[in-house]
Copies of this chain bind each other. A is one copy, B any other.
Amino acid sequence: MSQVVVTVMPRKGVLDPQGQAVRGALTQLGFDGLGEVRIGKRIELDIAGDDPVGTARDMCERLLANALIEDYTVEPA
């Protein structure tokens, strides 16, 4: 088993209302000088086999990410 980390982020150019809301909340708490805030998912998977990163990539294509609105990256932990 090796651990693979999949990161799924909203695609550039796609509005991220959640990120905006968090940015607003942070600003209200007094955190100034805040630029963009983007919120995505981190998925940690324990995968068996010779090519865990390849398997995870396959998982992304088939389920974990929606290419219309999300970009993903895969890396070993």
Contact call A62/B29, Cβ cutoff below 8 A: yes
User: What is the chain B residue whose CB lies nearest that of A39?
Assistant: B43
Contact call B48/A35, Cβ cutoff below 8 A: yes
In the bound complex, CA of A17 to CA of B62 (Å) = 20
On whether A44 and B33 interact (CB within 8 A), knowing A22-B63, A26-B59, the answer reads no
Contact call A37/B43, Cβ cutoff below 8 A: yes
Contact call B26/A63, Cβ cutoff below 8 A: yes
Which residues from chain B contact A62 at a C-beta distance below 8 Å? 29
On whether A43 and B63 interact (CB within 8 A), knowing A48-B35, A49-B33, the answer reads no
Residues of A within 8 A of B (CB): 1, 7, 9, 19, 22, 25-26, 29, 31-49, 55, 58-59, 62-64
